[in-house]
Amino acid sequence: MPWKFGQAINIGKRSEQQDRIGIFHAKDGNRHLMVVADGMGGIPKGGQAAQIVVDTAEQAFKKNKIRNPELFLEDICTRSHERINQLETDLSLAPGTTCVLLYIDKRQAYWAHIGDSRLYHYRQGLLINQTLDHSLMQLMIDQGAIEENSNEAKSLQNQLYKRLGGPKKPEPDIHADALKNGDLFLLCSDGLWQFIEKNRIPAILQDHPLDQDGAEHLVTLALQNGGRHCDNISVTLAQWEKTQTNLIQKMRNFFNKN
C-alpha cells in the first residue's frame, strides 16, 4: 500500500509559532502516524505544550508494538497531558494545546482529537469523515442555537472545553474507518480550516499534488484569505496512491484477454 505525504507550517501573522506537526513511518512501510498540535494562545509555553505532544507521539510510535490502536492514541493524549502539566506546579496555570492524531495500519485508519485542530477524510473527492471541534461554537451549532457561519459563531470559536494540559482529565474523541484506494486525509490547525472551504480541498490538490507543493499551496491560500487576522497555520496530508492498484488491474485484464 504506497502512500504519499505532504506537510507545511507557517507562523501566519502571529509573533510566535505555537503549532507543531509530525509524520512518522514504520520500517515495514505499512504503518504511519501523523500529528498536529496547536498550542493555546494567551497562555505561556503553548509552543512547548504542542512540542510535547509531537515528541510523545513519536516516542510511542517507535517503541511500542501497537496491538490496540484506539488505546495507543488515547495513551498518547494521556501521557502528553501529564508531561505538559509538569511544566507548572499550579495546574490552573499549566499551558494547553489542541491535538489531532491519525494512525494508519494497512487498510485501516484510526484518529483521535482534542480541541479544534481537525481531521478531514475524503473519498473520491467527497468529505466522508470530519472531527467535530470541542468548542462552544460547535456545541451551539449542534444545539441549533446559532448558524455555522454567523458572527456569533465566530466569536465562540476559540472558547474550548477540551484541551491537553490543565486540571481536567483529557477525553479525546476516537474514531476508525476502513480504507479504500485513493483515500485522502488532511490534518490541520484552525489557522488553515478557518480560511479554506473544506469541500474545495480535493480539487485544489488535483492541481497541486500533496507530495509536491500541495501542502505549501494550501498554506499560501490560507495566508491570502486570512490577511492580517491569520493565525499560525499547519497542515499534514496523506493519500493512498491509486497508481499501483490501477497498474495491477491493467495487468490482470491483459493476461485474462490473452
Residue 158 pLDDT > 80: no
- Torsional class of 202: left (φ above 0), alpha (ψ -120 to 50), beta (otherwise): alpha
SS3 98: strand
Q: What is the pLDDT of residues 171-190, one digit of tens each?
A: 999 999 999 999 999 999 99
Mean pLDDT, residues 80-87: 96
What is the structure's pLDDT at 245? 46
Q: For residue 28, what are the CA distances in angstroms to 31, 34, 175, 188?
A: 7, 16, 24, 26
- Tell me what the pLDDT averaged over the chain comes to: 90
Which residues are 23's β-sheet partners? 34
Domains and CATH numbers, the chain: 3-257 (3.60.40.10)
What's the confidence (pLDDT) of residue 258? 52
Task: Please report, as a single letter, which amino acid is at residue 159.
Answer: Q
Cα distances from 240 to residues 104, 162, 205, in angstroms, run 10, 31, 14
Residue 253 scores a pLDDT above 90: no
49 pLDDT more than 80:
yes
The answer to whether 57 touches 114, Cβ cutoff 8 Å, is: no
What pLDDT is recorded for position 172?
97
